[in-house]
């Protein structure tokens, strides 16, 4: 199974989904359905560190790339997510170059960063991966920065040029709140801001993706040049499917 880093540098469109439930079965199903990766969400879902490791194992079993959105931008949160064996980390709350540099530093071992080193973590096969693990981890671990606020968008050029960054993920929901249109993710101001960031990412040759919950919208984002789409959340997609079945069978 290839790491997220290879997806990000493959120059092809790829597809992911947020996982907020604690169900390893749903992670496997997303993999068997042909999605490229999942983002195990520790920021908004009920997932703790023990559960995140089980979900990473499920992703490995189904042959789908696993990443973890950490609950906070801290050395411990990033270290634990990567120690579980995730291919990369999605770091929320990025609004400046200093935020970006700190996030990347937390995800890399010395001399590139300050990630805590332990030889017996799952990511190193509990010690069977050998001493070369640290070098391999620095080369293959991905850092995805989640940009979802007005200040982040204003600093997009400099954030996107940060050394060690692998991909940008744009969050329209929080962005709509930050721009003064709470929840209105299709408002022209929100949409145009996202499009502006996508165009800049192409100029800077930075891998960029966006979260969305509608198929036609996802197709449009691909047409506008994003490298990847994070389509929906496992729980919300299940809720929508249940509602659709109910509406079509019983009035």
On whether the CB atoms of residues 27 and 62 are closer than 8 A, the answer is: yes
Cα 110 from chain centroid? 24
How many CB atoms lie under 10 A from the CB of residue 131? 8
Distance CA 210, CA 194 (A): 9
CB 66 within 8 A of CB 55: yes
Residue found under tokens 């994070």:
230
Annotated catalytic residue, options 9, 44, 186, 187: 44
Nearest to 55 by CA among 73, 34, 37, 76: 37
Cα separation, 76 vs 147, whole angstroms:
21
Is residue 186 part of the annotated active site? The answer reads no
CA within 13 Å, CB half, 90:
30
d(CA 176, CA 211): 13
What is the SS3 assignment for 210?
Answer: strand
Using a 10 angstrom Cβ sphere, with 0-12 exposed, 13-18 middle and 19 or more buried, the burial of residue 241 is: exposed
Q: Taking each helix axis from N to C terminus, what angle separates 75-83 and 97-107, rounded to the nearest 10 degrees?
A: 40
* Active site (catalytic) residues: 44
């Amino acid at each position: 199974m290839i790491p997220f880093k290879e997806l990000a540098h493959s120059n092809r469109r790829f597809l992911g989904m947020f996982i907020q439930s604690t169900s390893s079965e749903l992670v496997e199903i997303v993999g068997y359905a042909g999605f490229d990766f999942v983002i195990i969400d520790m920021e908004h879902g009920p997932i703790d560190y023990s559960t995140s490791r089980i979900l990473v194992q499920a992703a490995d079993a189904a042959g789908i790339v696993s990443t973890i959105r950490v609950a906070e931008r801290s050395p411990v949160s990033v270290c634990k997510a990567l120690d579980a064996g995730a291919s990369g980390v999605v770091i929320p709350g990025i609004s400046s170059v200093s935020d970006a540099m700190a996030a990347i530093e937390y995800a890399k071992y010395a001399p590139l960063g300050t990630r805590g080193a332990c030889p017996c973590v799952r990511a190193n096969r509990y010690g069977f991966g050998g001493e070369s693990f640290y070098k391999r981890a620095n080369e293959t671990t991905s850092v995805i920065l989640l940009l979802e606020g007005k200040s982040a968008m204003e600093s997009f050029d400099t954030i996107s040029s940060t050394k060690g960054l692998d991909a940008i993920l744009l969050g329209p929901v929080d962005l709509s709140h930050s721009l003064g249109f709470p929840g209105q993710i299709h408002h022209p101001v929100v949409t145009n801001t996202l499009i502006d960031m996508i165009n800049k990412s192409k100029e800077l040759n930075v891998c960029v993706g966006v979260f969305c919950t509608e198929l036609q919208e996802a197709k449009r984002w691909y047409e506008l040049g994003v490298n990847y789409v994070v389509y929906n959340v496992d729980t919300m997609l299940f809720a929508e499917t249940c509602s659709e079945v109910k509406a079509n069978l019983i009035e």
